[in-house]
A and B are shown apart, each in its own frame.
Chain A
Amino acid sequence: MTQPISILLCALGGEGGGVLADWLVDVARHAGHPAQATSIPGVAQRTGATTYYLEVYPLPHSQLQGRLPVLGLNPLPGRLDALVSSELLETARQIGNGLASNDRTLVISASSRALTTAEKMTMGDGRRPEGPLLDVVAAHSQRHHVMDMASLCQQSGTLVSAVMFGAIAGSGLLPFTREHYETVLAGPSKAAQASLRGFALAFDLVMRQREQAQYVEHVMKPAVAAPSASAALPADVAAKFPAELHPLMGLAHQRLVEYQGPAYARLYVQQLERLMAAESASADDTCPVTLEATRWLALWMAFDDIIRVADLKSRASRWTRVMQEVKAKEGDVLKVYDHFKPGVPELAALLPQGLANPLLRWDRARVARGQAPWSMPLKVARHALWGMVSLRLLASLRVLRPLGSRYATEQALIEEWLRGIEAATRLSPELGLELARCGQLIKGYGSTNERGKDNLLHILRHVCGPTSAVPLAEQAHAVARIRHAALQDEAGQALDQALLQHGAPARPVKEQPVLWMKNPRLQKS
């Protein structure tokens, strides 16, 4: 018995999924076939995921003797003829709902991801790996076309709906000719022309893919290029370390020279030598601990401060990058304002300890009095001479950085961390490795940076080390789990739980000014 051809369109709100469904119904109409589409937009129009469902009868009215097929409103799991989606995760979601099956369903999907808020908001990298998503597509489709729809849209200057339209046409799923589709899009307007361009690109791409059978491969992103050898180490330094370390060390060395100068880079090398020495006892001669520390030590030593930021912001490479990002054309005037809000800690960081402390005390006193901590919101005009001058002046403070209080603090903390790793490595290389990995906790500016340092120190002092309540055999495992927990939430609830689970004390409560709400209603009684 002839059954309707069923198509499920998945789109995100505002992508024109409704328009696409209408186009397809119109194509069927022009070709004289019964067709029906429906949708469940609701508030999903507001950027959420939604679906549109279509059924097209394979025979034209002319062959039906006036009878009309009854067309459905819900997709049939496993009996779907085509799943067409503008976003890879949504494709996988619908396949996960059991809709597509490898004995029947054609899957056309964008290779690109629109990250969900849940993925974006995590403190580390919360993004869903794309590999498994692509595997799902491959495993649960009769044939599939995974394509970079985003780039096709950019090339043709149209919306994804037109590209999906072209892909469906090219797939030969429906008994219609290319002309049928194009007549629906055709029109004098610029938009119509763009749609036709997008349609053609997708149409041809799918045609080509149908010819050569491997679809997924050529959309797989090239693996992140290994750090370039261009940043080669000085030969004398390289000689001291096994080859595994060279690429990263090269970059790190270069970074630190640029950050503070050759002497600072030498310090970095000495620190790594310490770790290697600590590690020399262990059987493994690939120096896993040192290798791990290579990255984190460099990043910590090149800690972010006003000086560094000012330097980065005032570079020529940055200006050109912004030009491209905002698509400023020839003849346009571009103005770039940088948002800074330096507070007392940022300024104190540049002053020697003796001057920094009273300044910090003054600010803490302010806060204790219920005032907001002092800070200076700035909008620095990078495009203007004055803004540029001030940025360069700040950047030029680089030479004074080693005199600043922040520099001293950071070096002290780095020292404690490295000692911790050394000691641990001698006891058990695994523990040393895990501690080295904790360098990952240190990043960013202000409160983010403070939080990271507190967490690292807490691990160093309470999870391992002589005073630790955690049995040595478990310490490596514990550090790993606790480090992971530390990256879960800002409040550190997950971290505290993990700490307690492993018998380590939770983090001490930080003093924080409380804003009392005077409420007469409560004082009456």
Chain B
Amino acid sequence: MEVSFHEEIKALRMGAGEVFHGEGILAITKGLLQSGVSYVGGYQGAPVSHLLDVMVQAKPYMDELGVHVEACSNEASAAAMLGASIHYPIRGAVTWKSIVGTNVAADALSNLSSPGVTGGVLIVVGEDYGEGASVIQERTHAYALKSGMCLLDPRPELGQMVNMVEHGFRLSEASNMPVMMELRIRACHVRGQFVAKDNQAPKLSKKHLIDEPAGFNYMRLAHPPVTFAQEKRKVEHRLPAARQYIAEQRLNEHFEGSTHRHLGLIVQGGLYNTLMRTLQQFDLADAFGVTSLSVLVLNVTYPLVPDELVNFCKDKSAVLLLEEGQPEYIEQELALMLRRLDLQTPLHGKDMLPSGGEYTAEVMAQGLLKFLDRHQADAVPEATRQWLATNGERRQQVQTLLGSPVPARPPGMCIGCPERPVFSALKLAQQDVGPVHIAGDIGCHALATFEPFSFGHSILGYGMSLASRAGVSPVMKRRVLSVMGDGGFWHNGLLTGVQSALFNGDDAVLLIFKNGYTSATGTQDIINTPTDIAKELAGDKRQSMVHTNQTIESTLKGLGVQWLRTVHTYEVSHMQATLTEAFTTEFQGLKVIVAEGECQLERQRRIKPWLASLLSKGERVERVKYGVDEDVCNGDHACIRLSGCPTLTLKDNPDPLKVDPVATVIDGCVGCGLCGENAHAATLCPSFYRAEVVQNPKLHERLWARWQSLATRWLQPA
């Protein structure tokens, strides 16, 4: 795993009164333990990976408490896990990245929500929305509405977030509804503090087993005819129960305003801090959140409590609702409430704020300006108008100073990434067979969609690349390539892709990146991760270890894949030849290329300490670095167009006669060998050299080297 949570695990053990300092998502994790959760599951993905990672690493402590932690194969299996709380009074929590994870989990969520739950259920979703997001922009809110799950959106303050976790379980038990908690990226990664409570060991758990299974009860099955009764129950019993709990426990916070108390702001809890900072720019709030307008903070965004909202609105001269994302579900429901009661309070929302996109302080400020101009123009300081006006001007000035927009800097594959060579080979292969349609997937390899490769025609979801070509390849003259990581393969690709292609006898080409981990989410282990024993036994810790785990190959053979090739990714020419063969062979069925090369992040985590220990013991260590001869480099940069490695970059041409900058390899090169492989495979200019530096060489090595250097020195000109 990429991150080690050694310190954080200590924090999870904290007892009552101790002050927890750390990341929001870890505070949530602590909250789960304080709530006596029996089982935790989920699927990793930013921004919630750490929740599961820390629990996996804290296994000894989890066992101590009797908490079962399951690293699920995908979000659907995580959601299905919650079925345990349908019959039994045990609390369960799962986590994943939304919206994508919720999409995958949707089926199980519907079938969980219909019968409802006995034990409290909390689904912690990382709302990957706005700046820094890596997925399509949609709202999780819709799932809460359609399936009848509560949706928490707590104020991004650690104390409040943990508090809402504890309430979440009780709310779930009070209403029999599953409860979702949506956390935005910045809330997950926020660094703050809160006063801890003691952790609760679950009553029923791995340590205190359930004696007998529950009796047969059809009402607990999501199966007709009871599904009709269950739908009624959602509306007639569960929602009212939930509303009652929310109101009684005052989960939504009402801050009465001062000078402008007749103006109301309703805001999703998650946006509260940004709203306060915005109001400060209008001198309408102080640093501690004391505001002159009245504010209603919705820590629960579904279900809404009509009385709360109506009471807040009825004595206001105008209300602005700040609801991030679209469609504006809350605004629609609120407008309907007011209309039904014939309340005439003017309600503003998406008419003054953008319908899509993250609600940053500036965005809110512009909306607030419109709102105040309409209803309280004198409340806007001149300085604030100035500020908002000048922001635009300043951006313009910078544009003119810079001329053209600055080049983007998207994420890229790591130094020495085993996937880069495959795309070099693919670029070369297409020079022989012509351009091919490339069905892309989710994972590090999706970074090949950026320069210098710009590969990929579609991305339909995690593990979906092979399935997403099923409609293309039958109508395409040339064969279609589907690229998939081993993470995606196990998450989904094996069934939706491979099984389907085999069953239909499709003429398809699948390239699986077997790097041994779900690397893009933080190198979590999967079923084909090399075992610790294998890593222990390896003499040379630098070599890739993924070949020691053959689960993917044996699975494919078991399913009946007949055309299967395994290629070490760094062998560019070999990979190029294999791709060309796959594109041109007479064989009509599914062709699978397993591109084998261990994730470089994981390798380096193993190599660095190992080399350090060898050096400290004064033992022989061989270090490899590639380099470019500045006087031989032709300044054409073809090597960079085939690689994009961060350590292969440019410097001024030292030759005063030449003008183009020359390629150079900077510190950080891990000597993966791609430069040399490309130089040969693509017949690049002969400027690349491979340097092997032997530290603490053996005696005979040193003597031999000395003799050779004497001889060569005698031959070489200045």
Whether, in the assembled complex, B708 has its beta carbon less than 8 Å from a beta carbon of chain A, the answer is: yes
Chain A nearest CB: distance from B431 CB in Å? Answer: 10
Alpha-carbon distance A73/B276, docked complex (angstroms): 11
Whether, in the assembled complex, A413 has its beta carbon less than 8 Å from a beta carbon of chain B, the answer is: no
Whether, in the assembled complex, A496 has its beta carbon less than 8 Å from a beta carbon of chain B, the answer is: no
Q: Which residues of chain A are near B625, meaning CB under 8 Å?
A: 325-326
CB within 8 Å for A78 and B584 given contacts A48-B411, A119-B407, A334-B691 = no
Chain B nearest CB: distance from A168 CB in Å? Answer: 16
Residue in B191, B408, B657, B695 whose beta carbon sits within 8 Å of that of A22 in the complex: B191
**CB-based nearest B residue for A93:** B406
Residue in A120, A339, A340, A385 whose beta carbon sits within 8 Å of that of B649 in the complex: A120
Question: Which A residues between 416 and 465 are near B, CB-CB below 8 angstroms?
Answer: 440, 443-449
B280, B625, B657, B697 pick with most chain A CB within 10 angstroms: B657
**Number of A residues, CB within 8 Å of B:** 136
Whether, in the assembled complex, B373 has its beta carbon less than 8 Å from a beta carbon of chain A, the answer is: no
Whether, in the assembled complex, B413 has its beta carbon less than 8 Å from a beta carbon of chain A, the answer is: yes
Q: Is the CB of B132 within 8 A of A70?
A: no
**CB-based nearest A residue for B702:** A333
Hey, what's the 0/1 contact readout for A42-57 against B, CB within 8 Å counting as 1? 1111111110010001
Q: Is the CB of B287 within 8 A of A57?
A: yes
Whether, in the assembled complex, B370 has its beta carbon less than 8 Å from a beta carbon of chain A, the answer is: no
B88-96, B387-395, B494-502, B562-570 - the one binding chain A: B387-395
Q: Is the CB of A338 within 8 A of B689?
A: yes
Residue in A67, A73, A319, A440 whose beta carbon sits within 8 Å of that of B659 in the complex: A440
Hey, what's the 0/1 contact readout for B396-409 against A, CB within 8 Å counting as 1? 01110111011111
Residue in A1, A39, A47 whose beta carbon sits within 8 Å of that of B414 in the complex: A47
Q: Which residues of chain A are near B235, meaning CB under 8 Å?
A: none
Hey, what's the 0/1 contact readout for A370-382 against B, CB within 8 Å counting as 1? 0000010101001
Chain A nearest CB: distance from B704 CB in Å? Answer: 9
Alpha-carbon distance A32/B324, docked complex (angstroms): 34
Whether, in the assembled complex, A89 has its beta carbon less than 8 Å from a beta carbon of chain B, the answer is: yes
Whether, in the assembled complex, B586 has its beta carbon less than 8 Å from a beta carbon of chain A, the answer is: yes
Residue in A38, A74, A309, A383 whose beta carbon sits within 8 Å of that of B709 in the complex: A383
Q: Which residues of chain B are near A117, meaning CB under 8 Å?
A: 412, 450-452, 640, 644
Hey, what's the 0/1 contact readout for A122-162 against B, CB within 8 Å counting as 1? 11110110001101100110000000000000000000000
Question: Which A residues between 93 and 132 are near B, CB-CB below 8 angstroms?
Answer: 93, 95-98, 101, 114-125, 127-128, 132
CB within 8 Å for A316 and B717 given contacts A12-B409, A74-B186 = yes
Q: Which residues of chain B are near A449, meaning CB under 8 Å?
A: 634
Q: Is the CB of A46 within 8 A of B690?
A: no
Q: Is the CB of B689 within 8 A of A339?
A: yes
Residue in B128, B189, B286, B450 whose beta carbon sits within 8 Å of that of A38 in the complex: B189
Q: Is the CB of B689 within 8 A of A337?
A: yes
Chain B nearest CB: distance from A500 CB in Å? Answer: 23
Whether, in the assembled complex, A243 has its beta carbon less than 8 Å from a beta carbon of chain B, the answer is: no
A206-214, A263-271, A471-479, A512-520 - the one binding chain B: A512-520
Question: Which B residues between 585 and 607 are near A, CB-CB below 8 angstroms?
Answer: 586, 588
Q: Is the CB of A443 within 8 A of B361?
A: no
| Size bracket of the B interface | 35 or more
Hey, what's the 0/1 contact readout for B146-166 against A, CB within 8 Å counting as 1? 000000000011000000000
Whether, in the assembled complex, A3 has its beta carbon less than 8 Å from a beta carbon of chain B, the answer is: yes
Chain A nearest CB: distance from B655 CB in Å? Answer: 9
Hey, what's the 0/1 contact readout for B654-680 against A, CB within 8 Å counting as 1? 001111110001000000000010011
Alpha-carbon distance A41/B190, docked complex (angstroms): 12
Q: Is the CB of B635 within 8 A of A46?
A: no
**CB-based nearest A residue for B665:** A325
Hey, what's the 0/1 contact readout for B680-718 against A, CB within 8 Å counting as 1? 100101101111111101000110010011011101111
Alpha-carbon distance A252/B656, docked complex (angstroms): 10
Chain B nearest CB: distance from A32 CB in Å? Answer: 13
Hey, what's the 0/1 contact readout for A63-96 against B, CB within 8 Å counting as 1? 0000111111111111100000000011011011
Q: Is the CB of B660 within 8 A of A13?
A: no
Question: Which A residues between 24 and 44 are near B, CB-CB below 8 angstroms?
Answer: 25, 29, 36-44
Chain B nearest CB: distance from A4 CB in Å? Answer: 7
Alpha-carbon distance A299/B656, docked complex (angstroms): 11
CB within 8 Å for A521 and B588 given contacts A48-B410, A79-B387, A315-B718 = yes
CB within 8 Å for A43 and B46 given contacts A72-B361, A117-B450, A446-B685 = yes
Hey, what's the 0/1 contact readout for B270-288 against A, CB within 8 Å counting as 1? 0011101100110100111
CB within 8 Å for A448 and B636 given contacts A44-B411, A72-B361 = yes
Q: Is the CB of A76 within 8 A of B361?
A: yes
Q: Which residues of chain A are near B661, meaning CB under 8 Å?
A: 125, 127
Whether, in the assembled complex, B619 has its beta carbon less than 8 Å from a beta carbon of chain A, the answer is: no
Q: Which residues of chain A are near B47, meaning CB under 8 Å?
A: 42
Q: Is the CB of B362 within 8 A of A77?
A: yes
Q: Is the CB of B659 within 8 A of A125?
A: yes
Whether, in the assembled complex, B211 has its beta carbon less than 8 Å from a beta carbon of chain A, the answer is: no
Q: Is the CB of A37 within 8 A of B190?
A: yes
Q: Which residues of chain B are near A366, meaning CB under 8 Å?
A: none
Alpha-carbon distance A39/B156, docked complex (angstroms): 13
Residue in A1, A36, A321, A385 whose beta carbon sits within 8 Å of that of B711 in the complex: A385
**CB-based nearest B residue for A58:** B287
B128, B661, B679 pick with most chain A CB within 10 angstroms: B661
Q: Which residues of chain A are near B646, meaning CB under 8 Å?
A: 47, 114
Q: Is the CB of B406 within 8 A of A128?
A: yes
Q: Which residues of chain B are near A123, meaning CB under 8 Å?
A: 636-637
Q: Is the CB of A521 within 8 A of B391?
A: no
Q: Is the CB of A444 within 8 A of B685?
A: yes
Whether, in the assembled complex, B629 has its beta carbon less than 8 Å from a beta carbon of chain A, the answer is: yes
Q: Is the CB of B679 within 8 A of A304?
A: no
Alpha-carbon distance A447/B398, docked complex (angstroms): 41
Q: Is the CB of A120 within 8 A of B387?
A: no
Alpha-carbon distance A519/B190, docked complex (angstroms): 56
Alpha-carbon distance A355/B123, docked complex (angstroms): 77
Q: Is the CB of A335 within 8 A of B694?
A: yes
Chain A nearest CB: distance from B430 CB in Å? Answer: 11
Chain B nearest CB: distance from A281 CB in Å? Answer: 28
Whether, in the assembled complex, A389 has its beta carbon less than 8 Å from a beta carbon of chain B, the answer is: yes
**CB-based nearest B residue for A124:** B660
Q: Is the CB of B716 within 8 A of A388?
A: yes
Question: Which B residues between 429 and 443 are near A, CB-CB below 8 angstroms?
Answer: 432-434
Alpha-carbon distance A71/B711, docked complex (angstroms): 69
Alpha-carbon distance A96/B398, docked complex (angstroms): 5
Q: Can you identify 23 A-B contacts, CB atoms within 8 angstroms?
A: A36-B192, A48-B412, A67-B288, A68-B288, A70-B288, A73-B190, A76-B362, A89-B407, A98-B398, A115-B649, A121-B640, A125-B660, A140-B398, A312-B629, A313-B629, A313-B686, A325-B665, A332-B695, A336-B692, A337-B689, A448-B636, A517-B584, A521-B588
Q: Sort A-B residue pairs by CB-CB distance and give the 3 closest, nearest first.
A: A40-B132, A444-B634, A48-B411
Q: What 8 new A-B contacts, CB under 8 Å, besides A117-B450, A121-B637, A339-B686? A: A43-B520, A46-B447, A70-B272, A96-B399, A119-B407, A124-B635, A313-B686, A319-B716
